[in-house]
Structure 1
Amino acid sequence: MSVSNPPESPCLVIDLNRVRANYRALQAALPSARIRFAVKASPVPEIIRLLNDEGAEFDVASVGEIELCLAQGVDPAVMCYGNPIKKAAHIAAAHAAGVRRFASDTEDDLVRIAEHAPGAEIELRFLASAPASQTPFGVKFGCAPGEAVQLLVRAHDLGLTIAGPYFHVGSQQLDPIAWQIGIEQAGAIAEALAAKDIPVKAVNIGGGLPISYADTAPGVDELGAVIAAAAARHLPEHTALIVEPGRALVGNTGVIHGEVVNVRQAPDGRRWIYLDIGRYNGMAETENEYIAYRFQTDRDGDPMDEVVVAGPTCDGDDVLYQRTRVLLPTTLRAGDPIRILETGAYTASYSSVSFNGFPPLTVHVIGAERE
């Protein structure tokens, strides 16, 4: 199978060679950082095996992701249970599987970790004062920076091992200054802890590293320079950096192959293009039109005009773009193939089980897991 000859529509085709290239490019841009792949971005076994061979760590958000990584031969010592929202039973299961690193942002969670994963290493998530990203988390995660010091002291008193502060600047963050702000705040937390004789071993700067969709995003070299400079200025010497990319490693490695189901001139006079893939079987990140994917067709040399792009289900919210300016050929017809580019992240993993009877997005992998 090749990208140009997928077996069915819709499907996602992932290129492992690009995953490897992205990992090595990030490694070159941040040579002193530990790279921890956010499994939720693309929980594909072949990707996990490749990154494990490359020496990556893994950010897991559930017992299911832990089990997936274990099945691919990942050492639990390089996993971190990075979801601050977790049941006591799940903490115990992770600990029983060998996971010894946990993220947290509340005292209640720290108490549960101390009980069910005694001695575990803690990365304490705080809410950095960073500019809004393309797909922001809001205030769902992270405590106030001042509270982070108190919680890390509390973790220390509970017998847990302190790694250090952790922040996330929001998914698809386009402003490099966001990491500078977060690192400066993390440095202040580290300084306050040092005054209490609690050393910080590492600062987790989270994910959010962007890729270019319809708009150009800063590259990893630019981001790496900002991050390295901020770390040198604000963090104690010998503090390890941890970065948790998801989209930056896999986003540009995937292409969704779809099909035009119908073309319609709606009563409002706008042209609507209906695809066999929509909000519920892979395109969840088009919610609020946060992510503007690029489209490619076999008729791209023909005249173009604006369209509304919608999915195939009987749900009124299954509309991908009606405010974002999307240009597609005026000659598009039902049955025409269409490709959606840079769809390697948060597509198959966001796909529903079977909404309206449409099956989850099928994933195919090309390229070599090992060189």
Structure 2
Amino acid sequence: MTGPVEVRCTLMRGGTSKGAYFLAGDLPAEPAARDDLLLRIMGSPDPRQIDGLGGAHPLTSKVAVVSASDDPAYDVDYLFLQVVVDRPEVTDRQNCGNILAGVGPFAVERGLVAPGDRETSVRIRMLNTGESAVATFPTPGGRVDHTGTAEIAGVPGTAAAVVIEFPPGTTPLLPTGNVRDTVTGIPVTLVDNGMPTVLIPAAALGVTGYESPAELEADPALADRLRELRLAAGPLMGLGDVTSATVPKLSLLAPARDGGAVATRTFIPVRCHTSIGVLGAASVAAGLRLPGGVAEGIARLPAQGDRVRVEHPTGFLDIDVDIDAGGPGDPGGTPTARRTAVVRTARKIFDGTVFPRPAAAPTPPAHPLGGNDGSAAR
């Protein structure tokens, strides 16, 4: 496929991820052509992504495609695309709450949303799932200010706070209707508070839940069990065959070690996350608050307030989550999430032009006599 020889691009860190942000109008409208271009921009397929913007890890091989929304309930539409590092694959089967943190500032800086004098709130429709979020961030004097004093675990230094609030979603919090299921012989809670997630007691898989990501990734028996569990959980969660999908996420739970509610190790889906995704943490936090779930006896919930601290390999992430255990007007019925919010940060790294790797030339047809150079076969 052919495409642009240069593309306007903003590279941003959003939360604990990094990605390339594009206006939808700067990319091909046809998905196959768009994905081919993004593979060449990010440098996939190549384990090092040496010839593109990607950072050789799923957390740094992400793309946000942003446009003005045609729905008056929203300001912008956001399509998240995961560019696979070592395969020629681009998938839109999940959201990304970390990259979401940069969407509001990007929309203001690219003129899609008029800024306020002190702060700006941007209403975002997440096209991957149809769900929404509102991102609020400082815009003193009508300009995005990326500097600030907010810290998030897993990111050095400080930056401006981006407060992201998620209204209640349209998907069931419990896809199976159960707070506890048994999948491939393992007790789990299947929860979706923005990200389909399987909560698993780490001890049920014979690990502590405190291992480093590298140690967990080096355990082939664990990888086999997790793959079997994920493939079985996907259809139960209404996701169908998830063989080639990046959802559901798998989060191992263990008692917290550093004052939080729970310690986690999350798989995305094969690599172990060095921290935890925003939407994945939102689903974990919701699952912790479900009476009878697998987190009972593992998690230590705060006595007051809605904030839950989820520990991960490089620190923690605080999530405000308010659960209605009975559902609206249905005491004792299906639980729902009334409110979910998180504080993230984002920082613009560069804004300019990216030059994609040239499209591969089509393979010339074989010469009838066997030589592509016109010579006879010998």
> Could you tell me the TM-score, scaled by structure 1's length?
0.24
Of structures 1 and 2, the one scoring higher in RCO (CA 8 A, sep 6+) is: 1
> In proportion to residue count, which structure has more helix?
1
